[in-house]
Amino acid sequence: MNDGQKKALQAPIPTAAVTQREQAGQTLDYVEGWWVINRMNEIFGNGEWGSELVALEHVTTIEAQAGKFDVTYRAIVRLTGPFQTQTGVGFASNRSSKVGDAHESAGKSAETDALKRAAVKLGLQLGLALYEKPNKQTGERTHVKDSLPTWTCTETGEVVEIKPKLDEVKSPLELRAYVVTKKASIVTAKAAGKDPTPKIAATAARVGTTLEAVEGWLAAA
């Protein structure tokens, strides 16, 4: 694991990524499984890490009231990649009038829960921050806060915030993150006769790179 990936894993969780649910009279914070998978792809790269369903066990099926079934599953998932192998155990239940649907949903949810429990061991960014106790006075956690979206350089693993405006870009890597993530908008603007190239060129010169380098980043994106 390179230094950029380590830094990304210890970054705070964006507030927008945190979802809440009510359980046993308490409000619980959590991150969705798709968000964890997406962040792992961004940090490590697509195809550079993997998840293996080690076990999926049916725990119970209970016929509840009104002809519905409560089904519970237990799953074990192993994560592999440029990090120490991590294993997580997850549980999930589902209620449905169709017992087959209840089994399918509970099994899938248990696998996702296990994946998240394995991923949380890798760092704050993948859910560990949610285990931090909130400040007694503010109710806030130190490592859950509003932040700009980030972009990860595939060559170095370095992570930078994606600045919303060119005027806020302060380095070649931030400029690369800006143009790569806004490639579609740049193409659309050019087609509409509002070519942003002069402003991009001026920004490139200001941060110590060239328009040719920018065009290369866009071509490779």
Instruction: Return the pLDDT at 157.
Output: 77
Q: Which of 145, 174, 208 corresponds to the end of one domain? A: 145
Residue 138, in any domain of the structure = yes
Give dist(CA 30, CA 112) in Å, integer. Answer: 13
Same domain membership, residue 97 and residue 31: yes
| Domain termination residue (choose one: 145, 178, 203) | 145
Residue 151: inside a domain? no
The verdict on 34 and 141 lying in the same domain is: yes
Domain ends where: 145, 171, 196?
A: 145
Per-residue model confidence as pLDDT tens digits over 27-69: 888 999 999 999 999 889 889 999 999 999 999 999 887 889 9
Q: Specify the pLDDT at position 146.
A: 62
Q: For residues 138 and 169, state if they share a domain.
A: no
Phi, psi of 147 (to 5 degrees): -155, 160
pLDDT, mean of residues 8-28: 84
Per-residue model confidence (pLDDT) at position 22: 85
Q: Domain range holding 204?
A: 162-220
Residues 16 and 121 in one domain: yes
Residue 9: inside a domain: yes
Do 54 and 87 touch, CB atoms closer than 8 A?
yes
Higher pLDDT, 140 or 182: 182
In this structure, are 43 and 137 located in the same domain?
A: yes
* CA–CA distance, 171 with 153 (Å, rounded to integer): 13
Name the domain count of the chain. 2
Do 137 and 198 belong to one domain? Answer: no
- Residue 203 banded pLDDT, cuts 50, 70, 90: very high
The model's confidence at residue 198, banded by pLDDT at 50, 70 and 90, is: very high
Q: Are residues 129 and 209 in the same domain?
A: no
Residue 214 domain flag = yes
Predicted local distance difference test score (pLDDT) of residue 136: 60
